[in-house]
Amino acid sequence: MENEKEKEKQWMSNSKVCKRCKQNYDPSSNTSTSCRFHTSFFVCRRHDDQKRYYELGPDDPPYAAKFYDCCGAEDPEASGCTTNFHVSYDED
């Protein structure tokens, strides 16, 4: 039991937070498929002209839509459409 706590403590001291997916990760096991994220923003776009972006308000028409601009996923909690290495906040 104490050995598990020590391992967890060591992992936490070595782990970093990914600025793309916000998950904790161990840099020593970071691979090109470790991080899953969206490459663009979750946006609102009118269907009538496909050009203007805006925040939805309470009086917006039913044809206004929200989606990820990179892949079209309409669920804000949708799994990312791209994989790559994790990137920590320490890196530029």
Rg of the chain over all Cα atoms, to the nearest angstrom: 19
pLDDT at residue 61 in the model: 63
The 10s digit of each residue's pLDDT in 37-84 is 999 988 876 545 555 555 666 776 655 677 888 888 888 889 999 999
Confidence of residue 35 (pLDDT cuts 50, 70, 90): very high
pLDDT at residue 75 in the model: 84
Location of structure tokens 């663009």? 40
How far, in Å, CA of 56 to CA of 38, rounded? 21
